[in-house]
Amino acid sequence: MVCSLISLDWLLNIPFPKGAIAGWIALSVYAGIFPGVWCVLNGTAGEGGNWGQRQRFALMCALSWVGLELARSHLLGGFPVNLLGVSQYRNVPLIQISSITGVYGVSFLVVWFSASLLNVLRALKQERAYRGLMGEIAIQLLVMLGTSIWGMGRVRNAPAPDRFVKLSMVQPAIPQELIFEPGEGTNRFEQLLRLSEKGLESDSQCLIWPEAAMPPWSSENYKALTNFIALKKVSMVLGCDDAEPETIEGKTQYKYYNAAFLFNEKGQHAGSYRKKRLVIFGEYVPMLKWLSFLRYLTPIESSYEAGEKSVSFPIPGSDARCSVLICFEDFFPHGGPEAVFPETDFLLNLTNDGWFKEGMMQWQHAINGLFRAVENGVPLVRSTNNGLTCWIDAYGRIREVFKDERGSVYGVGVFNVDLPIVSSVKRAETFYHRHGDWFGMGAALITALATVRLWRDSRKANRESSEN
């Protein structure tokens, strides 16, 4: 819990103090439950045992950690932020195992190796001799070495790109308070157009605006934007709210969505994607019908609806396609295979990290997201409100990051990228993309069985104790 209080302190930057503090504490307590359960499951297992028992202890530590991480990624909508394997993002050869197991495989290796080091200390304490200590960790060393060599080969044998797509990403760095200010819509829109004009001087094929950059649609804004696109002859992807009318008891109401829109080079609407995974208390309030007081812990006035399906956008004039992930959707390992179609050339994350001002959230978000590139074998392009606007290759390497004239990743500007594209013929589908969370599910099943066994053993011990 303390670890989460430190690593998630960016939640305190949300411009809504009551909700920020409540969310920070609640999420930290919730995240702390899982390693707490892990400690209960493993306890003092392996202590005082022989070599085989110590090896089973290390293996069970790793499998149960992965099982609990998978649970955290799914329960209550999922909170897969800062999974343990993410800590290894700089170790490019090692993280290639994610293309088979997902990020959970990296978490497994970290825990397995760490528990084996504990076994070395236990063996020293128990045997009081150095002889045979290498046997406590030999298997783990060989697996680590083999995984790294294989990963290095995977990176070195990367296929050469067939073509490039020119992208211009606008980073407006709009303070979150202004996004909620109705009177600032015109100023925001004019700033976006000025920045876009500057970015398109490089003959880009696609202009990109991040999540929440576009003010609410009006007929004037829509006409101005589509005329701008048609005049510049450039396709465009942007984040904006979407709405759909529905009639209930003779009254017309609207369902709202956090969405991404595609426009072709003629200024015509060519596609939409509605965000599937919503942020609790940021985009919807749970159980509001029964717990109405919860609305006072969030700045939102009404909840969004969740979208139903992933979408692949063709980039007109570029022979490339992207699949969009909005906001924290790129935190979810199981969200990548859903979004990446056979024709998808790259993932595009539109996000507004301006909620958290300038801090570590922007970096954590990018680092968590880079594993979706490795898992699915396609680059990840990130278009953000205030950092990190960047692109990450299919092997998890952050290749280019936007910085303003001051060298800050949080500033205002335009990021032009020539994104290399590898054809689907040359790009082999990753095992993880094909089979999903087979590794994590297996670990979760073993964890569940171990939990049932522990519960039964505990009941048996209590019964025997009471009889005595």
Q: How far is 371 from 189, CA to CA, in rounded Å? A: 33
**Contact between 426 and 374 (Cβ < 8 Å):** no
97-131 per-position pLDDT tens digit: 999 999 999 999 999 999 999 988 888 877 665 56
* CA 224-230-232 angle, 5° bins: 100
Q: How far is 288 from 413, CA to CA, in rounded Å? A: 39
Which among 69, 136, 211, 329 is annotated as catalytic?
Answer: 211
Q: What is the pLDDT of residue 205?
A: 94
Domain map of the chain by residue range? 44-157+437-467, 163-426
Please name which of 388, 287, 282, 373 lies closest in space to residue 336, comparing C-alpha atoms. 373
* Residue for token pair 């599937």: 276
Neighbouring-strand partners of residue 254 = 245
- Given CA atoms 75, 78, 82, 84 in this order, what sign does their dihedral have? positive
**Contact between 439 and 102 (Cβ < 8 Å):** yes
Residue 363, CA distances (Å) to 90, 222, 272, 384, 392 in order:
13, 33, 28, 12, 13
Sort strands 320-326 and 206-209 into parallel, antiparallel or unpaired: unpaired
Q: What is the pLDDT of residue 186?
A: 86
408-466 per-position pLDDT tens digit: 999 999 999 999 999 888 888 999 999 999 999 999 999 899 888 888 887 887 787 77
Is pLDDT above 80 for 393? yes
Q: Find the length of the chain.
A: 468
Q: What is the pLDDT of residue 171?
A: 96
Neighbouring-strand partners of residue 370 = none
CA atoms within 13 A on the CB side of 263: 24
Q: How far is 59 from 151, CA to CA, in rounded Å? A: 22
**Contact between 209 and 383 (Cβ < 8 Å):** yes
* Residue for token pair 């007929």: 219
Which among 61, 240, 327, 390 is annotated as catalytic?
Answer: 327
Known catalytic residue: 275? yes
Q: How far is 428 from 438, CA to CA, in rounded Å? A: 19
Which among 166, 275, 276, 403 is annotated as catalytic?
Answer: 275
Q: How far is 456 from 448, CA to CA, in rounded Å? A: 12
Mean pLDDT of 376-399: 96
Known catalytic residue: 211? yes
**Contact between 259 and 271 (Cβ < 8 Å):** no
Per-residue tokens: 13: 């930057």
Q: What is the CATH number of domain 163-426?
A: 3.60.110.10
**What burial class does residue 449 get, using C-beta atoms within 10 Å of its C-beta: 0-12 exposed, 13-18 middle, 19+ buried?**
exposed
pTM, to two decimals:
0.92
The whole-chain average pLDDT of the chain stands at 90
